[in-house]
Amino acid sequence: MTLNIYLDYVILPILTISVILVFIRLFKGPEVVDRVIALDLIITIGIAFITVYSIRTLEPIFLDVAMILALIAFLGTIAFSFYLDKKK
């Protein structure tokens, strides 16, 4: 089994199913915290999609995009936790 077949038939379907499940959590989430965690997880799965695409097309420039997106997601999570801390 080559890497491209593994990425196409194993990794991408798993990522797609996980995005669908996280979107369900995003819409059903009873509290704001659940929705923020779901959004953070969607960004993380998006980073995984970008990484798989980068490996698949042999274009390493997309890994820079994934790292920038990861930093933005991290800062968003930190800002939300700071907001929750100040809210109390």
Q: pLDDT digit of tens for each residue in the chain (88 aa)?
A: 799 899 999 999 999 999 999 999 999 989 888 999 999 999 999 999 999 999 999 999 999 999 999 999 999 999 998 988 888 7
Strand intervals (E) in 14-76: none
Q: By residue range, what is the domain housing residue 9?
A: 3-87
pTM across the whole model:
0.89
How many distinct structural domains can be found in the chain?
1
| Nearest Cα to Cα of residue 49 among 74, 12, 6 | 12
What are the structure tokens assigned to 19, written together? 């995005």
What are the structure tokens assigned to 52, written together? 């798989």
Q: What is the rounded CA–CA span in Å between residue 63 and residue 54?
A: 7
> Tell me, what's the pLDDT at 84?
85
Amino acid in the structure at residue 78: I
> Tell me, what's the pLDDT at 64?
95
Q: What is the rounded CA–CA span in Å between residue 40 and residue 67?
A: 14
> Tell me, what's the pLDDT at 85?
87
